[in-house]
């Protein structure tokens, strides 16, 4: 492989085609079904599918087959099959994964930016979905094309682009089962939906947290009443909700109080967290848009890395029952609801965590209040077994070739549902989980952006790894080894 030639091919493809395609894709508000119940009627998902499919067809890759698969009542899935080339084997398979659905708008965007308004500033492409995860289909096929441009061999490659990831990938298992005969048994899975600690080297994910969450509601009255008349007699739903939350979280430290939600952190992950903290320094926390005077939850950088990757943590991501300040009268309200998002350690069983959460919140409600918990998610995370020797070497070579720095390994705080399911379906596969979501890229939030040079380099790295996979396959090193480059061993389905 001529690395400079790969780099030039990838860079030109990004500049001439991929960035313009992503600009058009960002304009499409193809929100995940959880955030757009009328997604079928709105047709945005179909628009995104059509845009991507048209680009793939325009590449003219010899032997490529593209199928937009539509199972009844489910979001569409793009299935691409690229046959082996230049002496590669069709008996082996690399599976590349991404998604095209998006998170909702979120408030707080800068005046000149917006979720559906693509804006390029320097090396950054702003707008919802470019980095999470619209670039994946373009980067995946470009990585394969870069090999073919040099006449280099690669095994058969399958690209799956789903449209339900941000809702927990609940449609994906049906598609994988439906397509199983066509997919075959991949020995390498590449996921481009993860993060990176910086933009200076290739980062591979070693673990993913699980997720338990849903809607917690406290009802106290049939209707709102005069707050002056009722306060002191009727306990407010908000105060009861605060008391319930204190059962699961220490409000002074943020520590989750349910002991069953903590696990022993493996020694290897402790070492990797320390190395990541050493390399990143204060970027561990200053990548977040803290207000002046705000400080992170711990002074020890390694502890902060472990907090976001191996320890449970609670976020309140939504609220109902509270009127806006402009229309808030003197009323003791009948109910308060919040949406809980509880991140779980990678090795904790998600269903068990959901049961612990229900037990803590539902038992003996204060004052006999009517408490309900609608559990929407109970997902197991994923912890990576040891890397196979060939893959670890290929990843490090790729990082040094295209970043001039060694590869780094670190857990991620989010959940990628696809990984756990593929680990179950294909226990012999190896995994390379990487991505472009780095400092300040702010996936799911305002001012989300894609770092274009990072996208190019990750694409080139994937091309190198696919080529090295072919060589390892020839040596018989790719089959039947349950090794993972960033991922884990078992999981239900959660949401990033």
pLDDT for 480 equals 53
pLDDT for 336 equals 98
- Per residue, the 3-state secondary structure of 98-125, as one string, reads EECCECCCCCCCCCCCECCECEEECCEE
pLDDT for 487 equals 33
Provide the CATH number for the domain around residue 358: 3.30.70.360
Express each pLDDT in 233-272 by its tens digit: 999 999 999 999 999 999 999 999 999 999 999 999 999 9
Q: Which of 363, 379, 395 is the last residue of a domain?
A: 379
In a domain, 386, yes or no: yes
The verdict on 74 and 130 lying in the same domain is yes
Directed axis angle between helix 135-149 and helix 44-58, to 10°?
10
The verdict on 463 and 439 lying in the same domain is yes
The verdict on 144 and 188 lying in the same domain is yes
The verdict on 332 and 429 lying in the same domain is no
The verdict on 8 and 108 lying in the same domain is yes
The verdict on 169 and 29 lying in the same domain is yes
pTM of the model: 0.85
The verdict on 203 and 218 lying in the same domain is no
Number of domains in the chain: 3
The verdict on 181 and 240 lying in the same domain is no
In a domain, 349, yes or no: yes
pLDDT for 383 equals 86
In a domain, 351, yes or no: yes
Residue 240 CA to residue 221 CA, distance in Å, equals: 13
The verdict on 134 and 219 lying in the same domain is no
In a domain, 444, yes or no: yes
The verdict on 204 and 160 lying in the same domain is yes
The verdict on 183 and 254 lying in the same domain is no
In a domain, 490, yes or no: no
Contacts of residue 371, defined as CB under 8 A and 6 or more positions apart, other chains included, come to 216, 217, 218, 219, 240, 244, 361, 362, 365
E strands present in 70-227: 77-82, 93-99, 119-121, 124-126, 156-162, 188-191, 203-208, 210-219, 225-226
Low-confidence ranges of the chain (pLDDT < 50): 481-496
Cβ-based neighbour number of residue 340 at 10 Å = 24
The verdict on 31 and 129 lying in the same domain is yes
The answer to whether 417 and 172 are in contact (CB under 8 A) is: yes
Structural domain span for residue 243: 210-263+311-379
pLDDT for 490 equals 34
Indicate left, alpha or beta for 299 from its phi (over 0: left) and psi (-120 to 50: alpha). alpha
């Amino acid at each position: 492989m001529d690395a400079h030639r790969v780099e030039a091919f990838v860079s030109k493809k990004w500049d001439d085609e991929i960035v313009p395609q992503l600009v058009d894709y960002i304009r499409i508000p193809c929100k995940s079904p959880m955030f757009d119940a009328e997604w079928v009627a709105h047709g945005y998902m179909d628009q995104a599918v059509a845009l991507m499919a048209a680009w793939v067809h325009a590449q003219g890759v010899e032997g490529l087959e593209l199928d937009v698969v539509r199972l009844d009542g489910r979001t569409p899935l793009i299935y691409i099959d690229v046959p082996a080339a230049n002496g590669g084997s069709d008996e082996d398979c690399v599976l590349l994964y991404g998604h095209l659905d998006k998170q909702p708008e979120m408030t707080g965007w800068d005046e000149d930016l917006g979720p559906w308004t693509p804006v390029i500033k320097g090396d950054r492409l702003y707008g919802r979905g470019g980095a999470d995860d619209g670039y994946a289909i373009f980067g995946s096929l470009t990585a394969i094309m870069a090999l073919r441009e040099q006449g280099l061999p690669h095994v058969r490659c399958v690209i799956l682009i789903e449209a339900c990831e941000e809702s927990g990938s609940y449609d994906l298992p049906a598609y994988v089962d439906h397509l199983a005969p066509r997919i075959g048994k991949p020995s390498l899975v590449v996921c481009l939906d993860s993060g990176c600690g910086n933009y200076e080297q290739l980062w591979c994910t070693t673990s993913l947290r699980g997720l338990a969450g849903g809607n917690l509601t406290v009802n106290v009255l049939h209707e709102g009443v005069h707050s002056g008349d009722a306060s002191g007699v009727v306990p407010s739903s908000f105060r009861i909700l605060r008391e319930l939350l204190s059962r699961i979280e220490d409000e002074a430290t943020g520590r989750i109080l349910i002991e069953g939600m903590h696990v022993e952190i493996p020694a290897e992950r402790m070492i990797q967290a320390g190395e990541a903290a050493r390399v990143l320094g204060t970027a561990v926390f200053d990548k977040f848009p803290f207000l002046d005077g705000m400080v992170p939850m711990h002074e020890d950088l390694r502890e902060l890395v472990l907090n976001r990757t191996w320890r449970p943590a609670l976020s309140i991501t939504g609220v109902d029952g509270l009127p806006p300040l402009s229309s808030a009268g003197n009323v003791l309200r009948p109910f308060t609801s919040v949406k809980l998002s509880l991140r779980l350690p990678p090795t904790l069983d998600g269903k068990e965590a959901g049961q612990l959460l229900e037990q803590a919140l539902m038992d003996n409600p204060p004052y006999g209040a009517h408490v309900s918990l609608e559990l929407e998610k109970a997902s197991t995370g994923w912890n990576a077994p040891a890397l196979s020797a060939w893959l670890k070497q290929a990843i490090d070579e790729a990082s040094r070739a295209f970043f001039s720095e060694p590869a780094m390994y670190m857990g991620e705080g989010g959940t990628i549902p696809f990984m756990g399911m593929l680990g179950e379906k294909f226990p012999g596969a190896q995994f390379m989980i990487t991505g472009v979501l780095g400092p300040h890229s702010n996936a799911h939030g305002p001012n989300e952006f894609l770092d274009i040079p990072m996208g190019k380099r990750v694409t080139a790295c994937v091309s190198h790894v696919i080529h090295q996979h072919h060589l390892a396959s020839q040596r018989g090193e790719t089959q039947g080894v349950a090794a993972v480059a960033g991922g884990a061993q078992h999981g239900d389905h959660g949401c990033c």
